[in-house]
Structure formats: structure tokens, C-alpha cells
Structure 1
Amino acid sequence: MTLDEYTEAAKRIYAEQQDLAQSMSQLALSARAVPTNPEFLALMTKQWGLVQQVASLNTQLMMGIVAPNK
């Protein structure tokens, strides 16, 4: 993975997180952001997956797995 690929992957994940935040805001405004709501649980599960992806990308970067651009 090059640094550009890392950057693009991170941007994609952050964009997905922004979309999730907007969906979560809509649920909160309608008083449906509660643990018993299946839609809320699905959003939180997706968010957790994105957090894990970011952690993996950052670990790869810290360990030097990301190759410099040629």
C-alpha cells in the first residue's frame, strides 16, 4: 500500500463516518437513537467496523507497511 492509497482509504472511511454521523443525528432528533432501535444498532455496528478499519490502517502506517511513493 502506498501513502496515496492509505490517504484515499482514510478519506473514504472518514466520509462514511460523516454519513453515519448525519444519520445518527437524524435518529437523535427524532428520539430514536436508543439501544433497542435496530436501525441505531446497525449504525453503531457499522461505525465500530469503520473504527477498526482506521485502527488497522494506522497500525500499518506506524509499522512502516505503507510503502513510499515511487
Structure 2
Amino acid sequence: SLAVRLIRAVNSYDPRKGYLEEYILSQLKREMVRIRSTQAVYGLTQAPANIGSTIVPLTIAAQRESYWETYIAV
């Protein structure tokens, strides 16, 4: 995704707004923040910002509770 953001940054660059290097760096930093976001990590488009602590992988759920299938069925 950083490579795609880099290509888009170069294509959308306007020399009247500053240096190319600064623009590219700011675009890549924005992409890094987006990559770390809940939406990118969990693939949830309407996820609240703090949902990361409430999501448990199924492998961990199975280790914690023998009836984990009933929890995800609800």
C-alpha cells in the first residue's frame, strides 16, 4: 500500500505547493497511520477507533473457552 500511495503522490504532486520530497514524505506518513488503523487491521469499515481491544482471534478464543462457538453464534 505504500508503493501505491507513492505512485499516487507523484501523480498528484503540484510543484506550486512545495517540494516533491516533503509531499511524498507526508503522504507516506499518512498511509502508515492508515495502515495501523482499526479499519485496515481488522477490515471493518464502520469500526470504532477502540475496537481493537475487543476483538479476539478465534485461536485464542478456543483456548480460553471450550464453548467459544456459542459466543460467535450470538
Give the TM-score of the pair, scaled to structure 2: 0.32
Bigger helix fraction: 1
Greater Rg, structure 1 or structure 2?
A: 2
Larger RCO, structures 1/2 (Cα 8 Å, 6+ apart): 1
